[in-house]
Structures are given as C-alpha cells and as structure tokens.
Chain A
Amino acid sequence: MTFDLFVLPFFIGLLFMLAVLFIKYSRWIAMMKASDRIKAGMALFSISCQLKTIREIFMESLLHRKMFKRNPLLGYMHMSFAFGWFLLIVMGNLESRIYSGGHINPPYYPIFLKFFIHDKRVLPFEIFTLPGFFRFTMDLLLLYVLSGLVLALFKRTRSKCFGLKQTTNHKRFDRWALTSLWLIFPMRLLAESFTAGIYRGGGFLTNTLGSIFDLMLPLEYLTYPAWWAYSTMLGIFFVTLPWSRFMHIPTEIILIFLRNAGIKQGKYPGSFSEIELRSCPRCGVCIDVCQMNQAGLKGSTAVYFIRSLRDKETNVQLSSNCMMCGRCLEACPVGIDTLGLRVGARSVDNKLVASDFSYLLKKPVVEKTAEVVYFAGCMGHLTPGVIRAMLLIFKNAGIDYTFLDEEGSVCCGRPLKLAGLQESAAKLVKENTTKILDTKAKIIVTSCPICYKVFNSDYKLDEIEVMHHSVYINNLVNDGKLVLRPMDLKAVYHDPCELGRGSGIYDQPRNVLKQIAEVADVTEERVNSLCCGGSIGEISMNATQRNMIRDGALEILCVSQPEILVTACPLCKKTFDSGNAVLVKDIAEIVAESMILVNKDNIGVEMETQKKVEYISG
C-alpha cells in the first residue's frame, strides 16, 4: 500500500503551498517591467546563466559559504538545515526508487518511506549494498540535520558563540513557523525510530534508538501518532511558509536567477523589490554590523525595515533612518539590495515633497575650457583646506585645469536621489551635465565621493573620464608628475562609504598615503569600513545620535593611536573633525604638504610646514 490518511496534512500542505507560490510568483513576474521580463526570458535559454545560477544556489543557499566566512558554527548550523534537508529529499527519492521498482511515486512516498517499507534484511557489508548504503546515509543525514537543530537551540541562549551579539527579535507568527520547522526532524526521528523499534528496518541511528525505545515505551501505540505528528509538522510548515520568514527558501532561488539575468532594483519599488523582500531569511546578521545600534536605533536595522515593508507596517522613521552606508548589504548572505529598498521606500514616503528647479532653465555659462575639470562639490566648499590642496597639486604638476564650481554650483543630485526624489535629482543632473560637457575637458576630477558616485551612475558625460581625486593623485604620482617625500607620521586611513563600498576604490588612496606616512591597519576597513555618521543618506537622525555613531567609529579608528586620520571625503573630514579625537586631514591635504615643489613660480603662496596640532587638551 502506498497511501495512508496520515500523509494528508503533509500532502495538502504541500499542494496548498505550491499553489500559493505559483500564484504569487506569476503575479510578480507579470508585473515586472517588460524589459526585465525579456532579460529573464533570455536568461532561461542561456546555458552560462543557468550554470551560474545553479552554482550560486549550491554555494550560498545550500552550503551557505558567506555564513561560514562570518562564523563557522553559524555556517554549519544554517548549512545543516538547508543542505541536510535537501540531501534527505534527494537521497530519499533515490532510495524510494529501489523499493518501487523505479516507478514515479507520489511525493509523500519517499518522505514517509520507512512507514511503508520495512526492509528487515540484515545485509553483509551493509554499507556496500545499495539498500544498506541508503539506510546508513539517510540516518547519517538525519543526524546531520539534528546536529544543526541542537546548535540552533544553543544559539537561542549563546548567540555570541555564533558570532552574533544580537539576534533577530521574531514576531509571534515567525516563532510558530520556526517551532514547526524545528519539530519536523525530531518527529521524523521518533517516527522512524519507533517503526524501527518494532520492525527493525532502520539504519544505525534509528535501529539503535528503536531498540532502546522498545525497552521503555509501548511502541505499538506510539508509532502511528508519531507519523501523524511528523506529517502535521510538515503540513504546518508548508501552510505558513508563504507568510513566514521561510518564504526565503523558494524565493531566494528566484532572486538568484533574476539577479544573474541582470535584473536590478529600479528607482521605484516594483516586482523585483517584492521578490527581494521575501528573500530575506531574517537571519539577523545585519543587526550587529549596523552602526545605528550605537545611536539606540536598533529597530531601524535592515532586517526590521524589510520585515515592516513586507508586512505593510510602514513607518517613516524606519525608512528615513538609514545612513546608506552599505554595511548590511555587505554582510547579507543573500545579497539583498537593502539600499535600493530604502530608497524605494523613501520615494513613496517623500512623494509629497515638492521640487521646482525651473530657476535652472537659464543656460549655464562656462567661462573656461581645459583638459581637467575640478569639481569640489557642495561639501567641498566647507573644507577649503582640501580645495587649496588640490589647486596646489594641480599647479605643482603643471596641469591645465579649470575649477568648475569655484563660485559654487548646483548640487550634484545624489542627496536628492538618496531621499527617493529621483525626478528632482534628474533636473540637477541635466544642468550639471551641460556645464561639464561645455568645458570640453578630458577628465573630471572631484574631491567628493558622493559627487563621484553619481557622476558615474547618472551622468552621461560622453568621453570625459570621471575620477576621484585620490585616484587622480595616484596617477600623477605613478606618472612622475608628483614626487612625494615621506613624513614622520603615524596614520590610519578611513574608507568613506561612497568611495569604498560605494565605488570599489580602496587601494589608490592607500598607495599614495603609504608613500608619505606609516599606515596602521584598522580592524574594520575596506569593505567593512565604518560610516562616519555624517552621511548625506541619513535623513531624520538628530545630532546627538550622529555623534554617538561618529564617536564609535573614531574609537575603532584610533585604536593604534595614530597621529593623523586620513580620509578622502569632505563630509567624513568635517564629521570626524568635530569629534575632536585626532587630527583629521584629507588625502589631498597630506599630499600637498608632502609633495616636492617643482613649479614654485606657479604657486603664488609660500607653503609653510604644517605644525601638528594637538586637539585633545589635558
């Protein structure tokens, strides 16, 4: 016989879940932009895309490679559930074929195989026979998953051992779903062990346990209820899945496929955002890395923000409180575009914010054309030390340059973009693009990473090469146009969010700085660098909260007790400077101090050696 009533909770649950998933996914795919659907369609027929997707699913969704990198114990725990359960299903299917003569079985058959088949044969060299191998492997896999379950329970009380100081505070519904998941495998163990206790058809684990249970418990009465319990747990898990955190299991696979097909989040929320929202497993890894913890704003971290969007419990504070630093994006094992989701939410929240830039209709006039255009940006004008340094560098290297926004200019547009006001930003982009193109320059150099990022992403600058000043300076040094002399200084370098994680520039500023000063390492740098707190992406935090974040970052940056903190962003510079913990300079400033003056007549001002200033008194 291959049917019993007890399989119904599982079977009905499974069918229900598949139906719901089908409806939801079809709806989202139907609502996707036409261009995205074409991309997805093409990817379906692309072998390389398929292979890439399968590889990523295997490495991340099953083996949880990124989790392992974060903490081996955490990685093992997640892997045991995912990979273990996956193998149980696959191996179970194969095992069931032995007994059914290779026919296709109903889906519940392999799951509840040990109920239907009691293979009592005692096989010599068991593990080398097919049924024996499967018996052994299935029990081993069950043990594997159960080991993960033990770790999961342990994590409830000692999350620090898993590298997590804080874990997600789950909603009640999620806790019920989690409980059902946790009970599946113990129930399977009990059901199979009880059956093995009576019929002796199990593997090394279930047979042993079965014999022990047989001595103590009335197995004839317990076995059938155990199978019911197993089926019911599975049923509950499936029925709750589309609305619980475990929706990430099927949705993640869709997300990986779409991502590999080249689909990204748009400027406004859409289908892809919906899919991303449901790919979040709420693992909580983003909580520890979020610096808003230091400002007492733990509730705004990515996991809770995403949850609120999905559960339609939107709260303006949750979307506006984010420094857009990207640390959560970096840490996320699923690679969810948390920044895009925040900007999308802000575009909804800030719909009512009016912008009228008709005052820009007048055609901007450009005075001078040159090879190199320098753009200081809004923030740059509040750090005149950086501007002066850049102008000295240009003059010393004999560069034909024009200072485009010397008298101030229209903002680059990125602050508006980060606030979700895409259309308004586009108007500023247009104005500045015209001005930049009119200079007929070959290179545009900016000392602000915020401007740098938007020049690359949104500005159509034809042949003009966009460079951040740290990269430009690095090139000048490599080309021999600037010669730096070493200074006796202990320094640390801070990667600005928009330059580091935002634009992938980590090495060039360091190359330059290392030729001048002794650069000490920082525990959180490069992709893990800390946000200064100044963030133009943050909207509603008050100064006290920002200062807490700034001070937390300064503490870590100054562990090696450097004499100077070097950064490459005017906003970071001003923010860290106000912290009054260490001397802060921009990379351009330190280069200007250390460079050997070649074109002295070009430089009108005599350069004095900068005296080191002690800001900390007492």
Chain B
Amino acid sequence: MIKKVINFGYAVTPDRQIDFDANIHDICKIVAVAEPTLNLCISCGSCAATCSAALFTDFSLRQVILLVRRGETKGLEKEISKCMLCGKCQLVCPRNVSTRNLIIQISKALTTARP
C-alpha cells in the first residue's frame, strides 16, 4: 500500500527509516524468478571487496542486493550501471550466487519498471 502524503501546504521532512510496507517490492519479485540465487546472498561483502568498479566508485553489489530486497530501489539504476560485468564477484562468492546474471536481471527489471 502506498502511503498518501497529504499536502499541508508546507514540506514535511521525510524520515530515514525503511518503511517496508510502503515500499513496492516488484523488482525483488521479478529478479527472484529470473535469477533464483538472489535468495542465497548472506551479505558477506566479498563481492564488493573484490569489485573492479569499487576502485573508482561507491558501487557495492552487496548493498544493491540488500536494497532490492528491502524495496529501496530509488536511484538504483544509476548504481547498477557502474558494473563492468568483469566477473570477479562471481568467482569469490561463497554462496555461488550467479552475480553477473543477477546484475543483468536487476538492471533489466529496473529499466523496464521505471522507464
């Protein structure tokens, strides 16, 4: 359910908390079907540690996966577009998450859902 923001005539500072029920979880559902290993991630951070793009940017696949799961997908298209698909993350993941396909599926889902 989307909370309706009532227009009082002045701006209300949004809070920082993740309102899980207010968030739309479509991306997570789509990606979980397209790449089921999304569910295996334990957020250990090996992917982000080895990431080639992390040398130059803030990109963290661990964080992207967490945000997708929490439904906090605003602005995520920009983050995920930083990936070079080099495959180091897939090689170090202890849970055998197919990270490259996951990135491709998340990117496609985001571009489709928020054109």
Contact = CB atoms under 8 A, between A and B. Distances in A.
Contacts of A379: 87-88, 91
Contacts of B111: 352-354
A359 B52 contact: no
Residue among B77, B81, B87, B100 facing the most chain A CB atoms (10 A cut-off): B87
B108 interface: yes
Nearest to B109: A352
B35 to A, nearest CB: 7
Contact-residue bracket for chain B: 20 to 34
Contacts of A574: 91
A442 B103 CA distance: 37
A353 B108 contact: yes
A354 B92 contact: no
Interface in B66-115: 77-78, 80-88, 91-92, 96, 98, 100-101, 104, 107-108, 110-112
A408 B96 CA distance: 23
Most B CB within 10 A of own CB, among A379, A408, A421, A541: A408
Nearest to B98: A542
A360 B82 CA distance: 10
Interface string A395-421: 000000000000111110101100101
Contacts of A536: 87
A356 B78 contact: yes
Given A410-B52, A411-B86, A415-B87, A539 B101 contact: yes
Contacts of B77: 354
B37 interface: yes
B12 interface: no
Interface in A522-557: 536, 539-543
B57 interface: yes
B55 interface: yes
A546 to B, nearest CB: 9
A542 B39 CA distance: 13
Contact of A359 (B35, B82, B98, B108): B82
A382 B88 contact: yes
B56 interface: yes
A378 interface: yes
Contacts of B78: 356
Chain A interface category by residue count: 20 to 34
Nearest to A427: B84
B23 interface: no
Given A378-B86, A415-B87, A356 B104 contact: no
A411 B84 contact: yes
A542 B100 contact: no
**Which of B37, B57, B81, B86 counts the most chain A CB atoms within 10 A?**
B86
Q: Which residue among A320, A411, A416, A574 has the maximum number of chain B CB atoms within 10 Å of its CB?
A: A411
A428 interface: yes
B87 A360 contact: no
Given A352-B107, A539-B104, A382 B50 contact: yes
Given A379-B87, A415-B84, A415-B87, A543 B98 contact: yes
A541 B85 CA distance: 15
B104 A353 contact: yes
A561 interface: no
A415 B85 contact: yes
Contact of A543 (B84, B87, B96, B107): B96
Contact of B57 (A359, A419, A539): A359
Nearest to A540: B101
Given A354-B107, A539-B100, A542-B37, A411 B85 contact: yes
Given A378-B86, A411-B85, A350 B52 contact: no
Nearest to A570: B91
A356 B82 CA distance: 6
A359 B59 CA distance: 11
B87 A355 contact: no
A408 B55 CA distance: 8
A359 B56 CA distance: 7
Contact of B88 (A357, A378, A542): A378
B88 A355 contact: no
A378 B91 CA distance: 11
30 contacts: A350-B104, A350-B108, A352-B108, A352-B111, A353-B104, A353-B107, A354-B77, A354-B80, A355-B81, A355-B83, A356-B82, A357-B84, A359-B53, A359-B82, A360-B56, A378-B86, A378-B88, A381-B50, A381-B88, A382-B50, A382-B92, A411-B85, A411-B86, A413-B84, A415-B85, A540-B35, A542-B37, A543-B96, A543-B98, A571-B91
8 nearest CB pairs, A to B? A543-B96, A411-B86, A356-B81, A411-B84, A354-B81, A352-B111, A378-B86, A353-B107
Given A379-B87, A416-B84, A574-B91, 12 more contacts: A353-B108, A354-B77, A354-B80, A354-B110, A359-B56, A409-B55, A411-B52, A415-B85, A539-B104, A540-B35, A540-B101, A542-B96
